[in-house]
Copies of this chain bind each other. A is one copy, B any other.
Amino acid sequence: MAEEEEIAGILPELIQLRQHLHKHPELSGREVATARHLEAFLQKYRPTRLLKELGGTPGITGTGLAAVWEGTAEGPTIMFRADIDALPIPEKNAFAYASQNSGISHKCGHDGHAAMVAGLAPLLHRHKPARGRIVLFMQPAEETGEGASALLGDPQFKDLKPDYIFGLHNLPGYPLGQLVLREGTFCAASRGLRIVLTGGTAHAAEPEQGLSPAGALAQLLQTLPFLPGKLPHRELLLLTLTHAQMGEPSFGISPGQAMLQATLRANLEEEMTALSQAVEAQIRAVAREYGLEVDLSYHEVFPVTQNSAEVYAILRNAAAASGLSVHTKEEPFRWSEDFGHYNKLAPSGFFGIGSGTGQPNLHNASYDFPDALLPYGLQMYRALIREVLG
């Protein structure tokens, strides 16, 4: 049977899987029903073994899954990763498989990512790997930047000892099925910084009895966004203020506390480190100047997602062999992925795949992963398997 026909044969089942996941979306770290459904799907295709409840923390059961198909001979281990979490965005679509979980929906297409990786299972069931082994794994909590780290902290997961890890993201705005490749940084690192400045409240009639953080807040609002421009950098370096809050919404109290949130973004880890250090020093200097206490914390920390020269060659060769159209991107994407963490475990390759030029953007309330994209992802995955295992 020709490869395309074979994929077409399993497509109805994959569409059903994708739409089931879409209908029952779950937030990051709570993908319990999602994992159970995917586990049942994978088990049907008799993996050599299936690891579940991966990536837990003390007291919390993980929702990661990994299904392993062993080859008959020795050889490299390839892992394919799908993220499976949904977003806290109410669904605007009215189709039959629209989200049944109020306020939650798959607006980043992770339902499609999961169906594409799971779609390799029936194919691996029919064609056992000639050598090495192939692992299909489902990663929770990508949106919060916590899932990849959680799996990497799980000894069972690390023991899979992969030689390569691959992942993808669907890309609205690019032609359906077009592969988007880039050597080096594919998408930026980002991290949220929360700054809490504490002085003292007072009655609004006697502000001099307290210590308002207003002046310090103003100075940070004015200086922080320009700090990246003052640091030497070769690639994108950006600080965006996202939120500020000072005092309560009343007229009677001179506030004693202010909170400021900013997102730092960089294409190179060393430039992110330099920016973080400069930002922290600036904040502490301003707090000192105004006599305020300061508390800094980082949230939603995403690393740079990077394709090494070796992995990029594999991606490029597989893409050429896949027969799909290929776009080589000039600049990295500015958004972030927690896939970059996997480079700590093994050479990891990440690519984009167009989900159509007319598609609503990711995170848009009308977005829906196009089922027509499922076969294209599988084509590239099979090309990657052939490229690595021969």
Task: Give Cα A334 to B253, complex, Å.
Answer: 13
The residues of B that contact A203 with a CB separation of less than 8 Å are 335
Q: Output the least CB separation between A257 and chain B (Å).
A: 11
Contact, CB under 8 Å: A299 / B251: yes
Partner of A217, one of B238, B244, B259: B244
Given A205-B190, A221-B221, A334-B205, does the pair A214, B244 have CB atoms closer than 8 Å? yes
The residues of B that contact A243 with a CB separation of less than 8 Å are 246-251, 255
In the assembled complex, A155 has its CB within 8 A of some CB on chain B: no
Task: Give Cα A133 to B282, complex, Å.
Answer: 69
Chain A interface size, under 10 / 10 to 19 / 20 to 34 / 35 or more: 35 or more
Partner of A214, one of B225, B246, B335: B225
Given A218-B221, A221-B215, A245-B244, does the pair A335, B205 have CB atoms closer than 8 Å? yes
The residues of B that contact A300 with a CB separation of less than 8 Å are 251
Task: Give Cα A202 to B261, complex, Å.
Answer: 15
In the assembled complex, A105 has its CB within 8 A of some CB on chain B: no
In the assembled complex, A252 has its CB within 8 A of some CB on chain B: yes
- Stoichiometry, copies per complex: 2
In the assembled complex, A258 has its CB within 8 A of some CB on chain B: yes
In the assembled complex, A270 has its CB within 8 A of some CB on chain B: no
In the assembled complex, A306 has its CB within 8 A of some CB on chain B: no
Given A218-B219, A263-B252, A334-B206, does the pair A242, B247 have CB atoms closer than 8 Å? yes
Contact, CB under 8 Å: B254 / A245: no
Given A205-B238, A221-B214, A238-B205, does the pair A261, B249 have CB atoms closer than 8 Å? yes
Contact, CB under 8 Å: A250 / B246: no
- A 191-214 contacts with B by CB, 8 A: 192, 203-207, 212, 214
Task: Give Cα A200 to B29, complex, Å.
Answer: 32
In the assembled complex, A188 has its CB within 8 A of some CB on chain B: yes
Contact, CB under 8 Å: B247 / A244: yes
Given A215-B221, A218-B218, A219-B218, does the pair A251, B192 have CB atoms closer than 8 Å? yes
Interface residues of A (CB under 8 A from B): 188, 190, 192, 203-207, 212, 214-215, 217-219, 221-222, 225, 238, 240-255, 258-259, 261-263, 265, 299-300, 334-335
